Structure formats: structure tokens, C-alpha cells
């Protein structure tokens, strides 16, 4: 005999679904209330920062476990610094900050790069140092404007090949990781200008670096390299740091390269002394020629200090002399020193897009490099 007052199976299922829906709603409300509580407990001064309208927002060292939700609505922000917090990830909401050019997430607790970051197409500089990263996501290739990436003090054991897909990357900071080798196809990174590999586990000099013709800065401090090859083939190199490696003398480098490491100071002093002796010898030669009544030859161009020609005519004659290795002057054959003619190409390499150094005046300390250095570098490159 059926029970007409009982509930059918369909009614029971419907009742359970309603209960499940209520549970989900309660959980969502609790989460919302918790978030609202966090919003109400903003650290001192943060409220003013969020309302300032400034394109630079610095929320570093505020003990955030998650950023205030209001941050993701500040679409005018171009530079966001949230270093030294306890962030493990960032929500999808950050994609709203499409004007963001600089994002600094150093000294947090991230084990993976938040995929939402990879949708910030205007990023030019990304700082992820001192986290817990071991890999980079393939989606990083979406950051086609990225010029500077710092991932120092993480747990990389292998060089991330995902970086090959970043066509504008110029500065790569991978110091204090666990790298032992570099891939042979690293040469694909043709735009790379600065590479920091200090504090890794290299026991031999990575040979692939000898083919990185565009490198201007190379830092291999604090590794276990016992011998360095000649680096003279790296024509663009301007700074090489090899300190705290078990080597007895500096490697051979070009005349324009500043080296940092054991024995480097003596090497640089001797090089400068050699240049000074050469300069004085050239000055003495010019003086002797002048006393003998002969015109000095400088880089294949006649220095005619006694000519009474108008300056425009002298300039024109000088241009003619440069264009022809054997030019005639006053009916006589001009002496030409081919070996001395260098056109000063090495001095011009650093000008324009590269880094600018001043030899011994250069002070370099990898541990104290900051964001301002990269900003100044970008201004030079854009100019």
C-alpha cells in the first residue's frame, strides 16, 4: 500500500540540491565577508595611496597575504610595486591593469608565476626575485614587450627556454639559482645585452657564451669556475665580473672591457699605465716631427696646422683625404698608415643603445642593483 503523503525520489533530489545551493551561498558569503574584513583593515597610509591617482603604486612590505581588491580597479596604474609581502599568487582580476608597464613581486612566496600576469601585454619589466620559482609558464611568451626579467634567488636548475619567445628581452637576472649548464641554443636570444649568472653552480665556463656577440654585461661571480677562455671575441662586452671563482688571473678581454674580480685591479692599472706610456710616446713623436719641420701624420690624415686656407676649404680637403687612402696634398704624396687607421669603431660601440662606462670610475655591486638602474637604461635605449 503506497504512502500518498511521502516524498518521491524526485522531491528528495530537489531538496538536496537546494541544501547544496544554500551551503555554497553560505560559503561564498563567509568568503565575501572575510574579504571585506581584510579591506577594512588596510595598513596605515594605504587608503591614501589607493585614492591618490598616482600612476606609481608602491605597496611593498605591508604584510599582505592578498592584495586589496580595489587595486585591480586602478586602471591608471603603470608601475606596481608589491615586494616583501606574503603573496602566493595574484587573482585573475589583475588583467584589468592593462596599462601596467612595471610589476615588482620580489620577496614573496610564489611557487608559480600567476598566469594572469602573462596577459599584461604592456609589461616591459617584471621582477620575480626571491620567491620559490622552479619553472616559467609557456604563457610567458605573451609578454612580447618585456625588456627586463629578474628571477634571481629562486630554485631554477635548468635554464628556462620559454625565454626564447621574448623578442625584446635585453636584461636577464638569474643570479643565486642552481644552474650548472646553459643550453647550446642560448644564442637564439639575440637581443640580450645584460646577463647575470652569479651565485649558481657552474664549474666550467659555458662555451655558448662565447657566441653571444651582443652581450655587454656578463656576471659570473660566486661560481666554481677554475679557468676562463679568452673573451676578446665578445666585441660588445663592456663589463665582465668573475669575482669569487677559484682562478688566479683575469681572463683576456678587449681593451674597452672593465673586469671585476681577484687580480682585476692590478690588471686594469697595468692596462692604463700601458695606455699612458703609449700616449706620451705619441706626443713625443709629434713634438720631434714639429721640431724637424715635418708635418705629423695622425691616423692617415695630414695634420696641417700651418695652412692659411679658409676653414671650409681645409674641411673639404680633410674629407677628401679620408675618402681616399692615397691622397695628394700640395703636389706631394700623402703618407698613409693603414695599421693606425681604426676609425675609432670600438669607442662608438657603447654609444646609442648600449651601456656607458668610464673605465676605473665604474662601481659595480650586483647585490645593490635596483630598479632605478633599469629605468635609466631604458631611457638611454629609447633616446
Instruction: Count the Cβ atoms, other than its own, within 10 Å of residue 55.
Output: 14
Number of domains in the chain: 3
Q: DSSP character for 41?
A: T
Helix (H, G, I), strand (E, B) or coil at 232: coil
For residue 172, tell me if it sits in a domain: yes
For residue 204, is pLDDT > 80?
yes
Q: Are residues 378 and 275 in the same domain?
A: no
Q: Are residues 212 and 360 in the same domain?
A: yes
Contact assessment for residue 187 and residue 164, using Cβ atoms and an 8 Å cutoff: no
Mean pLDDT, residues 47-72? 90
Q: Which of 211-215, 292-296, 321-325, 368-372 has the lowest mean pLDDT?
A: 321-325
Contact assessment for residue 189 and residue 165, using Cβ atoms and an 8 Å cutoff: no
Q: Are residues 43 and 136 in the same domain?
A: yes
Q: Are residues 375 and 320 in the same domain?
A: no
Residues 263, 253: Cα–Cα separation, whole Å: 14
For residue 12, tell me if it sits in a domain: no
Contact assessment for residue 218 and residue 241, using Cβ atoms and an 8 Å cutoff: yes
Residues 156, 136: Cα–Cα separation, whole Å: 9
Give the domain CATH number at 185. 3.80.10.10
For residue 312, is pLDDT > 60?
no
What local confidence, expressed as pLDDT, does residue 304 receive?
Answer: 42
Q: Which residue has the cell 645585452?
A: 193
Beta strand 297-298 with 301-302: parallel, antiparallel or unpaired? antiparallel
Residue ending a domain, choose from 311, 328, 343? 343
Average pLDDT, the chain: 77
Contact assessment for residue 104 and residue 130, using Cβ atoms and an 8 Å cutoff: no
State the burial class of residue 115 (Cβ atoms within 10 Å of its Cβ: 0-12, 13-18, 19+): middle
* HSE (side-chain half, CA atoms, 13 Å) at 196: 21
Residues 238, 255: Cα–Cα separation, whole Å: 9
Q: Are residues 255 and 323 in the same domain?
A: no
Residues 290, 303: Cα–Cα separation, whole Å: 11
Q: Which residue has the cell 649558481?
A: 200
Q: Are residues 217 and 349 in the same domain?
A: yes
Give the list of residues 6+ apart from residue 167 with CB closer than 8 angstroms, or none: 144, 191
For residues 274 and 130, the model is more confident at 130
- pLDDT level of residue 9 (50, 70, 90 thresholds): low
Q: Are residues 236 and 336 in the same domain?
A: no
Predicted confidence (pLDDT) per residue in 76-104, tens digit: 999 999 999 999 999 999 999 999 999 99
Q: DSSP character for 344?
A: T
Write out the three cell numbers for 32: 565575501
Residue 237: name the closest of 221, 223, 222, 251 by CA.
251
Question: What's the predicted TM-score (pTM) here?
Answer: 0.67
Residues 47, 260: Cα–Cα separation, whole Å: 45
Q: Are residues 350 and 337 in the same domain?
A: no
Residues 107, 84: Cα–Cα separation, whole Å: 5
Residues 89, 91, 92, 94, CA torsion sign? negative
Contact assessment for residue 229 and residue 251, using Cβ atoms and an 8 Å cutoff: yes
Q: Are residues 370 and 224 in the same domain?
A: yes
For residue 18, tell me if it sits in a domain: no
Q: Which of 75-79, 157-161, 295-299, 322-326 has the lowest mean pLDDT?
A: 322-326
Q: Which residue has the cell 612566496?
A: 109
Amino acid at each position: 500500500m503506497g504512502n500518498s503523503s511521502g516524498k518521491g525520489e524526485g522531491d528528495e533530489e530537489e531538496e538536496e540540491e537546494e541544501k547544496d545551493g544554500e551551503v555554497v551561498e553560505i560559503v561564498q558569503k563567509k568568503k565575501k565577508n572575510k574579504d571585506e574584513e581584510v579591506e577594512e583593515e588596510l595598513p596605515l597610509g594605504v587608503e591614501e595611496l589607493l585614492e591618490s591617482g598616482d600612476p606609481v603604486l608602491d605597496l611593498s612590505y605591508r604584510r599582505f597575504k592578498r592584495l586589496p581588491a580595489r587595486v585591480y580597479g586602478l586602471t591608471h596604474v603603470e608601475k606596481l610595486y608589491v615586494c616583501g609581502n606574503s603573496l602566493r599568487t595574484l587573482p585573475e582580476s589583475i588583467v584589468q591593469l592593462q596599462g601596467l608597464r612595471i610589476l615588482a613581486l620580489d620577496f614573496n612566496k610564489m611557487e608559480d608565476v600567476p598566469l594572469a600576469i602573462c596577459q599584461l601585454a604592456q609589461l616591459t619589466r617584471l621582477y620575480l626575485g626571491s620567491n620559490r620559482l622552479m619553472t616559467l609558464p609557456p604563457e610567458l611568451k605573451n609578454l612580447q614587450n618585456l625588456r627586463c626579467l629578474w628571477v634571481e634567488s629562486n630554485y631554477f636548475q635548468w635554464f628556462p627556454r620559454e625565454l626564447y619567445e621574448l623578442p625584446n628581452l635585453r636584461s636577464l637576472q638569474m643570479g643565486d639559482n642552481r644552474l650548472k649548464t646553459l643550453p647550446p641554443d642560448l644564442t637564439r636570444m639575440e637581443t640580450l645585452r645584460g646577463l647575470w649568472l652569479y651565485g649558481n653552480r657552474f664549474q666550467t665556463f659555458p662555451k655558448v657564451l662565447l657566441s653571444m656577440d651582443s652581450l655587454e654585461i656578463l656576471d659570473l661571480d660566486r661560481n666554481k669556475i677554475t679557468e676562463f677562455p679568452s673573451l676578446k671575441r665578445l666585441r660588445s662586452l663592456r663589463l665582465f665580473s668573475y669575482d669569487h671563482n677559484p682562478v688566479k688571473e683575469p681572463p683576456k678581454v678587449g681593451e674597452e672591457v672593465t673586469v671585476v674580480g681577484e687580480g682585476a685591479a692590478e690588471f686594469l692599472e697595468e692596462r692604463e699605465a700601458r695606455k699612458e706610456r703609449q700616449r706620451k710616446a705619441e706626443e713625443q713623436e709629434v713634438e720631434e716631427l714639429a721640431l724637424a719641420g715635418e708635418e705629423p701624420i695622425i691616423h692617415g690624415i695630414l695634420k696641417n696646422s700651418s695652412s692659411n686656407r679658409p676653414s671650409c676649404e681645409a674641411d673639404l680637403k680633410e674629407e677628401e683625404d679620408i675618402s681616399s687612402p692615397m691622397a695628394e696634398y700640395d703636389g706631394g704624396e700623402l703618407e698613409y698608415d693603414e695599421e693606425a687607421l681604426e676609425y675609432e669603431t670600438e669607442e662608438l660601440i657603447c654609444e646609442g643603445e648600449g651601456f656607458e662606462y668610464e673605465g676605473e670610475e665604474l662601481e659595480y655591486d650586483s647585490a645593490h642593483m635596483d630598479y632605478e638602474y633599469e629605468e635609466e637604461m631604458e631611457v638611454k635605449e629609447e633616446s
